[in-house]
Amino acid sequence: MLLVANWKMNGDSTLLAQMHQALLAIKLAEGDVIICPPFTLLAAAQQLFADTAIAIGAQDVSSEENGAFTGQISAKMLSQLACSYVIIGHSERRQYCLETDTLIAAKCAQAQNAGLIPILCVGENAEQKARNETEQVVLAQVRSVLDNLQKDQLAQLVIAYEPVWAIGSGQAAAPELANNVHGMIRAAVAEYDVKAAAAMQILYGGSVNADNIAAFLAQPHINGALIGGASLKPDVFVQLIQKSE
């Protein structure tokens, strides 16, 4: 099981210290909880969470290895800050930064080449859902990345299904319906590698909270969650973790 806290453009060193205190007070299995703060807090997170069961992730990475790309952060830079994961292709980056499937696929490849595990975000928006295009949209997003990875890299990939209409809206998807989409994603991965598909962690994201996390995790194809708003309050996030056990 994986619980990934996506802080987005929120948080500061005080919140990081409070989260550290709150998480130290509970028992966690190694690597089950990943904190993804903004870039500027990664070095502090590295120090605070070293020697804990908690892993660190970033929220984005460059599609380039190095060079004249002002403002970008490379996968190698992230791995030097003890990041083990990186969120790639979040719908907010697809929407506000106009990230394409091609760019996202290149970012995933860069991340993997530097030893980071990409958390690839996919999901349909409200209009696409209304047109019954969920399967088509999600599988195209998944396949554009899988087509670009070596077969042996599939074991080092996490996919997060995040229906765009559910993000930050308080309207989570119905767990059974999300599970159906997760099943379709797993079947699509199996077209590339059956073993990797069976072992792949496929997360749900979109208005996950302490009250609904257990219902998501009870679904056979849902292996964890990507959590935005509910990961910004240490007491709420701790409650959510405890409901996941």
Q: Give the residues lining the site for ligand PGA (CB under 6 A).
A: 6, 162, 167-168, 205-208, 226-230
Nearer to ligand PGA, 57 or 206 (CB): 206
Task: Kindly report the backbone phi and psi dihedral angles of residue 144, in degrees, each rounded to the nearest multiple of 5, phi listed first.
Answer: -65, -30
Beta strands in 60-210, from DSSP E residues, in sequence order: 83-88, 117-122, 158-161, 202-205
Q: Which one from 20, 90, 182, 221 is the annotated catalytic residue?
A: 90
Q: To which H or E segment does residue 224 belong?
A: strand 224-227
Two structure tokens written together for 81: 């800050």
162 is catalytic: yes
Q: Which one from 92, 99, 124, 162 is the annotated catalytic residue?
A: 162
Q: How far is the CB of 12 from ligand PGA (least distance, A)?
A: 18
90 is catalytic: yes
Number of H-type helices and E-type strands within the chain: 11, 8
Q: How far is the CB of 204 from ligand PGA (least distance, A)?
A: 10
Nearer to ligand PGA, 108 or 196 (CB): 108
Q: How far is the CB of 188 from ligand PGA (least distance, A)?
A: 21
Q: How far is the CB of 197 from ligand PGA (least distance, A)?
A: 23
Which residue's beta carbon is nearest to the bound ligand PGA? 228
Nearer to ligand PGA, 200 or 230 (CB): 230
Q: How many Å apart are CA 182 and CA 173, to the nearest integer?
A: 12
Q: What is the DSSP letter of 66?
A: S
The candidate with the shortest Cα–Cα distance to 84, out of 39, 119, 38, 109, is 119
**Strand duo 33-36 + 55-58: pairing:** parallel
| Catalytic residue list | 90, 162
